[in-house]
Amino acid sequence: MLRQRILTALVLAGLVLAALFWLSTREFAVILGVVVILSAREWATLSGCESAGQQAYAGGTLLLLMLAWIMRDRPQWFLPILGLSVLFWSTVSVWLWQQRHDLGAPLEQRLLLVIGIPVLIIPWLAMTVLHAQAGPAWVLFLFLIVWVADSGAYFAGRRWGRQRLAPAISPGKTWEGVYGALMAGAGLAVIGAFSFGLGLVQGLLFVVLCLLTTMLSITGDLFESLIKRQRGVKDSGDLLPGHGGILDRVDSLTAAAPVLVLGWWLLQSGQLT
């Protein structure tokens, strides 16, 4: 299983790098859109939809992606959308804190299907905007901060983990893992600030932004864990050998992307300095 997991991870990393640096923004958006549509089917499954409902939800997701593509060059549209997404994930963070010792009743199907819009569509819009306006290196940094934070949480939790973060949602996650994720994210943020040539003030704000991104990436992971636990399933699907479903691999990214891209836009436009 471990060998299969590592092999799948290496293949995915290669495909991600190829898509980022060899494809145009339009082509990247299409590839990313396929990932979102497949994720939408898994989300519909977790929501309790049958096969026909899954297909319909995937079709609806495609239509929303086409609408989002129109908004990508209009800051008056995509900035408020990103802001609302950050507000949504902040609210989810508070709600998860309240649910950490008791899952409560499963979320209703209709509510879950509606929630799928900010979970799936807005991160696609955020990454498409980032790829077009900032370049592939910034999108890669977004992926890296999620991966590095996840690795930091895993190793710190495994070595020092004692205090459970949310025992009812994900018993394996600990506060020590959170600290490890934040430390790893902060370290990568400092490297990123130098690499992107940011000044002192912008660099400090960038580190804060990366810490917020790291925290919300944990929220994204926990939120999907809660839904899976309420539905009584271990994985969102079985499309990725050794890893489960696509949602299992992008859950942190769905919450991290909007906040990082919104913060990047405010930084480069000078509205935070």
In a domain, 273, yes or no: no
Q: How far is 61 from 121, CA to CA, in rounded Å? A: 7
SS3 135: coil
In a domain, 154, yes or no: yes
Domain count, the chain: 1
Helix or strand holding residue 92 (H, E): helix 75-99
Cβ atoms within 10 Å, residue 98: 9
**Cα–Cα nearest to 122, from 220, 222, 212:** 220
Across-strand partners of 240?
Answer: 244
Within 8 A by CB and 6+ apart from 235, the residues are 228, 244, 245, 248
pLDDT of residue 3: 61
Q: How far is 107 from 110, CA to CA, in rounded Å? A: 9
pLDDT of residue 215: 97
User: What is the value of pTM for the model shown?
Assistant: 0.92
**Cα–Cα nearest to 134, from 219, 200, 61, 195:** 195
pLDDT of residue 2: 47
Helix or strand holding residue 165 (H, E): strand 164-166
Q: How far is 58 from 219, CA to CA, in rounded Å? A: 24
pLDDT of residue 74: 82
Range of the domain at 105: 2-268
pLDDT of residue 243: 58
Residue ranges, the chain, pLDDT below 70: 1-9, 238-243, 271-273
**Exposed/middle/buried for residue 111 (C-beta within 10 Å: 0-12, 13-18, 19+):** exposed
In a domain, 149, yes or no: yes
pLDDT of residue 206: 96
In a domain, 182, yes or no: yes
In a domain, 63, yes or no: yes
Pair 214, 142: CB distance under 8 Å:
no
